[in-house]
């Protein structure tokens, strides 16, 4: 994390040194109560069982576009949550969105904070991916989605099981939201995340179970994410006439100018990134923005008349996003001779989770829990290390903390694996934090 963001977080923490979050009467911030010790013992005693559940759900393909697989994983968790006394429902999305839907579960009471727990059921590995099986190698479990984020879903579930074991689910208000399309949200976003946002309006605190970067960190800031499409047009003709007033520079040179100017003029701004992920250019170009696939054709002796580029944009605040978009539009407008270009920014896939005071109070409470468990301090991880997540949709509405899941590596690749020893660490912290928040 940079010094600038550390300073911002320090300012936000002023006045929050004494947490306003209620704790059990017979506990102090640095010591576990008798009930909290029982919670920890339950988690430790059921760690192998939790490992088995991760392997079970990771063996079910639940790529975002595999609606049947996403629903099958949802049914596994629905059965577990039913057994804990939650009222569960599967919320389907409209057929034209092409998404499976979401699993929501709720308990309603009158004690302590109202909590929203967030996870997701889908992975980036679709049915045609070669990465389909799990394999344990020493203390690590390799498999599709074990870290992102079926391990986090299991940590969430076993934290709830631990509270149920000691009789502390009764009287709580807890909503569980397991999203079915986190990796590739359906459109429109207002529909795809409408139920999540509505649940946040009925809650006081949101906890996200995406995996941690390391065992001693959590997330209070995440960058937002959106996408853009650049369309460039040039004058087709014989390549011997390129650079002349009648033909100009051609579409590919113009696209190269624009992308390089993005890099040179915006590339050094803190927390701002933009990545051209797909580019097609030539005499003819066909591109499907939904699948990010297309074709292009041309010849070396023909000045190209078209280029399409699709990329993403990540930002720490709406202000940074809007300023970056304005600068990108200005760069696009400086057309080379014989060319024209337009850039279109799509609806944000994820808003930013910007720093705020309430999130840091929550982080302080989480740090106190970790220290009481003998697991060491918890510090905020920099937003440049994290991708986007569903907690960003609700962060403006309530206090929020993310990165509560176990630690993994290689997410979104065939190298994805999970540090199994980090699972009980994540589960104990989450369970005791939930206990203290709901007292």
230 and 339 assigned to the same domain: yes
Residue 23 is given by DSSP the state -
Q: Do residues 368 and 29 touch, judged by C-beta distance below 8 A? A: yes
Q: Do residues 114 and 173 touch, judged by C-beta distance below 8 A? A: yes
324 and 181 assigned to the same domain: no
* CA-based torsion, 267, 272, 274, 275: positive or negative: positive
Q: Give me the helices (H) in 244-294, please.
A: 251-266
Q: What is the largest CA-CA distance in the chain?
A: 85
Q: How many residues does the chain have?
A: 439
Q: How many domains does the chain have?
A: 2
Domain boundary among 345, 373, 401: 345
51 and 178 assigned to the same domain: yes
167 and 302 assigned to the same domain: no
Indicate which CATH number applies to the domain containing 385.
3.40.630.10
Q: Classify burial at 410, counting beta carbons within 10 Å of its beta carbon; exposed 0-12, middle 13-18, buried 19 or more.
A: middle
Model confidence over 344-376: pLDDT tens digits? 998 778 899 987 888 999 999 999 999 999 999
335 and 374 assigned to the same domain: no
pLDDT band at 29 (very low <50, low <70, confident <90, very high): low
242 and 263 assigned to the same domain: yes
Q: Tell me: pLDDT of 25 over 50.
A: no
Domain boundary among 292, 322, 345: 345
Q: Do residues 352 and 272 touch, judged by C-beta distance below 8 A? A: no
- Angstrom distance (rounded) from CA 165 to CA 80: 14
206 and 288 assigned to the same domain: no
Residue 375 is given by DSSP the state S
pTM equals 0.85
Mean pLDDT score, 294-300: 97
Contacts with 431 (C-beta within 8 Å, 6 or more apart), sequence order: 39, 40, 42, 43, 158, 159, 160, 162, 163
Q: Tell me: pLDDT of 34 over 80.
A: yes
Residue 390 is given by DSSP the state T
Chain centroid to Cα 187, Å, comes to: 17
Secondary structure of residue 310 in the 3-state scheme: strand
16 and 135 assigned to the same domain: yes
85 and 232 assigned to the same domain: no
78 and 184 assigned to the same domain: yes
Indicate which CATH number applies to the domain containing 295.
3.30.70.360
- Angstrom distance (rounded) from CA 307 to CA 287: 10
Residue 397 is given by DSSP the state G
95 and 21 assigned to the same domain: yes
Among residues 271, 375, 279, 280, the alpha carbon closest in space to that of 313 is found at 271
Q: Do residues 94 and 158 touch, judged by C-beta distance below 8 A? A: no
Residue 350 is given by DSSP the state B
Model confidence over 179-233: pLDDT tens digits? 999 999 998 999 999 999 999 999 999 999 999 999 999 999 999 999 999 999 9
- Angstrom distance (rounded) from CA 270 to CA 129: 35
59 and 168 assigned to the same domain: yes
* Token reading at 392: 């960003």
Model confidence over 314-345: pLDDT tens digits? 999 999 999 999 999 999 999 999 999 999 99
Domain boundary among 320, 345, 370: 345
Residue 278, domain extent: 224-345
Model confidence over 84-111: pLDDT tens digits? 999 999 999 999 999 999 999 999 999 9
Neighbours of 68 (CB within 10 A): 11
The confidence score (pLDDT) of residue 11 equals 39
């Amino acid at each position: 994390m940079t010094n600038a963001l550390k300073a911002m977080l320090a300012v936000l923490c002023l006045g929050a040194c004494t947490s306003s979050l209620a704790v059990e009467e017979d506990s102090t911030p640095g010591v576990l109560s008798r009930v909290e010790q029982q919670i920890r013992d339950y988690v430790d005693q059921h760690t192998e069982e939790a490992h088995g559940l991760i392997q079970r759900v990771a063996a079910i393909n639940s790529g975002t576009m595999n609606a049947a697989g996403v629903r099958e994983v949802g049914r596994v968790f629905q059965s577990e949550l039913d057994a804990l006394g939650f009222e569960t429902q599967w919320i389907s999305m409209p057929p034209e969105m092409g998404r499976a839907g979401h699993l929501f579960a709720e308990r309603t009471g009158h004690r302590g904070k109202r909590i929203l727990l967030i996870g997701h059921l889908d992975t980036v590995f679709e049915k045609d991916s070669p990465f389909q099986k799990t394999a344990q190698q020493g203390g690590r479990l390799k498999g599709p989605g074990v870290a992102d984020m079926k391990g986090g879903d299991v940590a969430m579930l076993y934290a709830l099981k631990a509270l149920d074991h000691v009789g502390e689910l009764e009287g709580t208000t807890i909503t569980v939201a397991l999203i079915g399309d986190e990796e590739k949200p359906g459109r429109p976003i207002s529909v795809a995340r409408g139920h999540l946002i509505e649940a946040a309006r009925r809650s006081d605190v949101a906890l996200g179970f995406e995996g941690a970067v390391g065992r001693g960190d959590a997330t209070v800031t995440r960058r937002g994410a959106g996408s853009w499409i650049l369309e460039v047009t040039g004058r087709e003709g014989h390549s011997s006439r390129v650079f002349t007033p009648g033909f100009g520079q051609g579409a590919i040179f113009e696209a190269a100018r624009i992308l390089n100017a993005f890099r040179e003029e915006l590339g050094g701004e803190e927390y701002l990134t933009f990545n051209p992920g797909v580019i097609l250019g030539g005499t003819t170009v066909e591109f499907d923005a939904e699948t990010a696939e297309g074709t292009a054709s041309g010849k070396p002796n023909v000045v190209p008349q078209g280029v399409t580029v699709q990329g993403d944009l990540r930002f720490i605040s709406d202000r940074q996003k809007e300023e970056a978009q304005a600068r990108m539009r200005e760069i696009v407008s400086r057309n080379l001779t014989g060319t024209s270009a337009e850039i279109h920014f799509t609806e944000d896939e994820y808003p930013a989770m910007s720093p705020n005071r309430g999130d840091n109070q929550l982080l302080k409470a989480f740090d106190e829990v970790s220290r009481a468990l003998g697991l060491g301090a918890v510090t905020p991880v920099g937003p440049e290390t994290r991708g986007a997540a569903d907690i960003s949709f609700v962060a403006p509405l309530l206090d929020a903390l993310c990165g509560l899941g176990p630690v993994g590596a290689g997410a979104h690749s065939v190298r994805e694996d999970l540090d199994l020893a980090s699972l009980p660490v994540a589960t104990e912290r989450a369970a005791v934090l939930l206990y203290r928040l709901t007292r």
